[in-house]
């Protein structure tokens, strides 16, 4: 979905739409989107800037950070993004660029590709870590077994010296 910003000038514009998650690349194998992405947003032209605020929600499957088991998770968040045309950044010069706030994205031309906006926002809002359970034991460092499911005997055969010291205390 491409929004022609010239047509928006001077207006406040609300958009409600959903886009397919097919083909959106999140640069990680650990996240899979399971539904269309629902977007509600407002695009406001404050020339030269364009402000986009809204909410995004999508059903996803994310692998547990420790044991890699897939966890169903609703990714839902609100966002704010600001776009500035690349010509504008050049004109403002390097002094401005140094202080440019990091939330500003560069826009080429007068078209805002909402798929790219949404992809970027989801990427920014993915959890850094997610656990199937607070007590998730993760995978055995030696044999790769899921320690929530089976008790491999690697630990018994080779106890980390630091743990051995702790054991003596108890």
Closest C-alpha among 35, 82, 74 to residue 54? 82
Closer to Zn ion by CB, 112 or 132: give it.
Answer: 132
By CB under 5 A, residue 56 contacts Zn ion: no
Find the helix or strand (DSSP H, E) in which 37 lies: strand 37-46
* Binding mask of the shown chain, residues 10 to 49, with x at each position contacting Zn ion by CB under 5 A: ----------------------------------------
Alpha-carbon separation of residue 141 from 55, 71, 151 (angstroms): 39, 21, 13
By CB under 5 A, residue 154 contacts Zn ion: yes
Contact region with Zn ion (CB under 5 A), list: 5-13, 87-95, 109-117, 124-132: 124-132
By CB under 5 A, residue 67 contacts Zn ion: yes
- CA gap 99, 111 in Å, rounded: 25
By CB under 5 A, residue 150 contacts Zn ion: no
Closest C-alpha among 42, 45, 46 to residue 55? 42
- CA gap 87, 109 in Å, rounded: 9
What is the DSSP pairing of strand 31-33 with strand 2-4? Answer: unpaired
Residue of the chain from 97, 142, 151, 165 that contacts Zn ion (CB under 5 A): 142
Residue of the chain from 3, 43, 114, 132 that contacts Zn ion (CB under 5 A): 132
CB of 74 to Zn ion, least distance (A): 18
CB 140 within 8 A of CB 154: yes
Closer to Zn ion by CB, 36 or 63: give it.
Answer: 63
CB of 31 to Zn ion, least distance (A): 15
CB 143 within 8 A of CB 152: yes
Give contact residues for Zn ion (rule: CB under 5 A): 64, 66-67, 132, 136, 140, 142-143, 145, 152, 154
């Amino acid at each position: 979905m491409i929004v022609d910003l010239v047509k928006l000038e001077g207006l406040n514009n609300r958009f409600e739409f959903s886009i397919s998650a097919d083909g959106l690349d999140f640069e990680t194998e650990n996240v899979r989107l399971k539904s269309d992405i629902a977007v509600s947003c407002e695009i406001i032209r404050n020339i030269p800037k364009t402000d986009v605020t809204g909410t995004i929600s999508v059903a996803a499957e994310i692998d547990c950070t420790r044991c890699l088991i897939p966890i169903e998770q609703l990714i839902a968040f609100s966002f704010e993004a600001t776009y500035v045309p690349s010509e504008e950044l050049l004109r403002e010069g390097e002094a401005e660029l140094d202080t440019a706030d990091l939330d500003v994205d560069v826009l080429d031309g007068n078209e805002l590709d909402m798929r790219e906006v949404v992809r970027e926002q989801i990427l920014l809002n993915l959890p850094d870590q997610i656990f199937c359970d607070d007590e998730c034991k993760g995978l055995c460092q030696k044999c790769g077994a899921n320690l929530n499911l089976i008790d491999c005997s690697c630990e018994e055969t080779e106890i980390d010296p630091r743990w051995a010291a702790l054991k003596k205390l108890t």
